[in-house]
Structure 1
């Protein structure tokens, strides 16, 4: 039987290995593989096949509405009238909001990602007898495994 488990990159992996060795699992039957970190930079613009869940037009839409109302109100006193100035205000608000959101996604969140230092997970594969499967699974969960799967 094989058990697959994932861990965060912490000291709990070493504690789990030590506990498994104390319970009779040979060191040769424990295989640990770290996952590689993503090397390419995340894309800001979504495609049809991939989306990160952030919207670049939310602030733009809100500012377009606000600037359109302000532009239309002021436009009653200006030469081109409220319709043109409302459209100009909407366009200006949308461009400003889009630029703000693009700046925060490209500059601010990139800095946060670098500072946080996202680390990859660790995969642990354990070969054991079926009678030891439940014991090994309990040990892995006690040492904060993110998930465990059994293959018989």
Structure 2
């Protein structure tokens, strides 16, 4: 039988594994898998920096376009082409930056707090399976599954 138990990180895992070892299950017949966070934390800062750089580039593009339009329209306005071009560039930059940032920011990819983060796989005989299952429940396993070996 292969028994699968899932846990939140705690000292209970160590206690459960030591009790299972006392039953006579060898450490080679047990496997502990840690669920990694995806994407890794090191990439989160890079993604955030890339978002701000891209937002800045889009803001500059909007500012350039609106500055040309503002300066062209400014020849017919009282304020003149220079002032209207600068004002249009400022408005264009902030509108382009904000629009790109709001539409392209990602929701935080956090694991749900109730999701198990550690998986314990135990290979045992059919006679030891109920005892191991009871030990895992006693040590606060989130879920337990059993499967026959193939």
Larger Rg: 2
